[in-house]
Amino acid sequence: MGLVRIAVLVSGGGSNLQSLIDKIHGTYGEIVLVASNRKNAYGLERAKKAGIAAQVVSGEDYDEKLEALLREKEVDLVVLAGYLKKISPELVGRYKNKIINIHPSLIPSFSGEGCYGLKVHEMAVEYGVKISGATVHFVDENMDTGAIIAQRAVEVDWNDTPESLQAKVLKIEHEILAEAVKNYCLEKITVNGRIVAVKE
């Protein structure tokens, strides 16, 4: 059997994509496509530098275009790595337990509609939580509600700013996303309703 064929969807800088390029690409899986809803997303440049096909997907028939690309590239796993557009319920249904997302908080805290990027860390700092972290989860029809694959915490210090917390959390995002994708590629992940088991 060949390597697991991965598509990574990005809307921004793509540091999580870079972590997957460095830790997964060519060993546990093959990133066959990087797609973005934003033509200026730096993630597209990262893909090109690594020799990976990079595509902007936009316009009215957006969902159809994205699905056509995934089919054309025979994608097994879709990774949302800082992808800020909602995936259609149809696509979610057709790729059940094959789409994963990284979110920069300990879900269910600071998650759901409107919670993305720096805003998540602003909310965490404002609330005064003493720990925050990152979550990797399967994508379902709603926002940030799918079964959780992995979480890791960081301490929030009294003098953390949204920016400093973001930097701490990004570091662990890069670890847990790559670990989750690796485990997926090695077929170590099983899903039973909301409960995800990862075999050692």
Q: Which residues are catalytic?
A: 103
Smallest separation, CB 192 to ligand GAR (Å): 25
Find the shortest distance in angstroms from Cβ 76 to ligand GAR: 21
Interactions with ligand GAR, residue window 65-124 (CB under 6 A):
81-82, 102-104, 116-117, 120
* Strand 77-80 versus strand 99-103 pairing type: parallel
Site string for ligand GAR, 158-197 (x = CB under 6 A): ------------x--x------------------------
User: Site residues for ligand GAR, window 19-48 (CB under 6 A)?
Assistant: 43
Find where tokens 């690409």 sit. 25
CB burial string 165-195: b at 16+ within 10 A, e below: bbebbbebbbebbbbbbbbbbeeebeeeeee
* Closest chain position to ligand GAR (CB): 82
| CA dihedral angle for residue 142, residue 106, residue 187, residue 177, rounded to 10 degrees | 100
Q: What's the CA gap between 183 and 198, in Å, rounded?
A: 7
Give CA–CA dist 14/47, Å, rounded: 9
Q: Does 146 bind ligand GAR (CB under 6 A)?
A: no
Q: Residues in the site for ligand GAR, rule: CB under 6 A?
A: 10, 12-16, 43, 81-82, 102-104, 116-117, 120, 170, 173
